[in-house]
Amino acid sequence: MLEVVKITPIDALPGNYGMPSSSDNVLPGQYLNSISAGDGPPTILVHGLAASLHDWEVLVPELASYAFQAFAVDLFGHGDSPKPELPELYTISTVIDTFEAWIEHLDLGSSLMLVGHSLGGHVCLQYALRHPERISCMVLIDPFFRPAQLSPVLRLFNKRPKVGVKALQTVPLNLIDTVLGWDPVNAAQYSPQARWQIAYNCKRASPNILNIPSTIPDLTADLHRIEIPCLIIWGSKDLTLKPDTFNDLVAQLPIAAGREINDCGHHPHIRKPVLVNRIILDFLKLHRQQSLPAASY
């Protein structure tokens, strides 16, 4: 059975990510919106920037049907999780700290399996660096692990995040959907329903989330410390992050395999969910126990 936890956003309080103060005896992560289903090894699904847990609506029940306990979470500032009004809170540190506290609140123990897309991939990498003893394996989909991955246009926006914040505040939902359809790659790859979901997630998020990418560090020098099996999946036509950088990531992680998905952009799990979900499931089933060797794809 799918368990849905709906959280009412609370007022922003400086210094604690807009969550209740420590005197309330609650952890910040308790207030992240999430869904869960199934029983088995805990598997956490983490969406990308300007997305939401709805990215995983197909994968969550499928994982549950294969005896995994699947969790999908709305990151700080996204979906139905809190969206404080203070722009200075929107950093990668806040995102990871609240994600970490949410996991602590769930008290899932060790041998966690992580699946992250884009920004969510970065969150997974940083969590694995903080808690290597708690992670058994990871699947990263078009992950953001260093700023140099950004396309030239997005790199320019990354230097001027206030421009993007203002645009997201004022642009209507239907215009976002229309613009997504203008790109021939997007038009060919995503159904109207998928484009609408992407646009809706974007508009639901706090505009201040566009401050987050400029605070993301380069993880290249630390990748050698992640000594768990990892599978990197990416779209061959990703226009958000440079596709050739994902082979670099595979090479720099100690135990990693890569799988390029042809004719896909930045969202292969949305563009080709049947194929990508099967790849993810095969990998996770193989690595239910941390001692198993890395897969070859």
- CA-based torsion, 212, 48, 73, 194: positive or negative: positive
How large is the average pLDDT for residues 192-215? 81
Which pLDDT tens digit goes with each residue over 58-72? 999 999 999 999 999
Q: Can you read off the two tokens belonging to residue 119?
A: 């920004």
> What's residue 132's pLDDT?
96
Which pLDDT tens digit goes with each residue over 154-178? 766 666 655 555 555 555 445 444 4
pLDDT confidence bin for 294, thresholds 50/70/90: very low
Q: Coil, helix or strand for 256?
A: strand
> What's residue 172's pLDDT?
46
Which pLDDT tens digit goes with each residue over 172-196? 445 444 444 444 555 556 666 766 6
Average pLDDT value for the chain = 81
> What's residue 186's pLDDT?
52
pLDDT confidence bin for 288, thresholds 50/70/90: confident
> What's residue 30's pLDDT?
52
> What's residue 63's pLDDT?
97
Identify the residue with better confidence: 175 or 248. 248
- Dihedral in degrees, nearest 10, Cα atoms 19, 22, 26, 32: 20
Q: Give the domains, in start order, of the chain with CATH numbers.
A: 2-154+217-286 (3.40.50.1820)
* pTM, two decimal places: 0.83
Question: Of 11-15, 67-71, 104-108, 156-160, which one has max mean pLDDT?
Answer: 67-71
Helix (H) or strand (E) holding 72: strand 69-73
pLDDT at residue 247 tops 90: yes
> What's residue 113's pLDDT?
98
Q: Can you read off the two tokens belonging to residue 137?
A: 């394996």
> What's residue 297's pLDDT?
46
How large is the average pLDDT for residues 242-255? 97
Phi/psi region, residue 25 (left: phi>0; alpha: psi -120 to 50; beta: rest), is left
> What's residue 159's pLDDT?
66
pLDDT confidence bin for 73, thresholds 50/70/90: very high
Q: How many CA atoms lie within 13 A of 255 on its CB side?
A: 17
Helices (H), 232-272: 244-252, 268-271
> What's residue 14's pLDDT?
33
> What's residue 4's pLDDT?
43
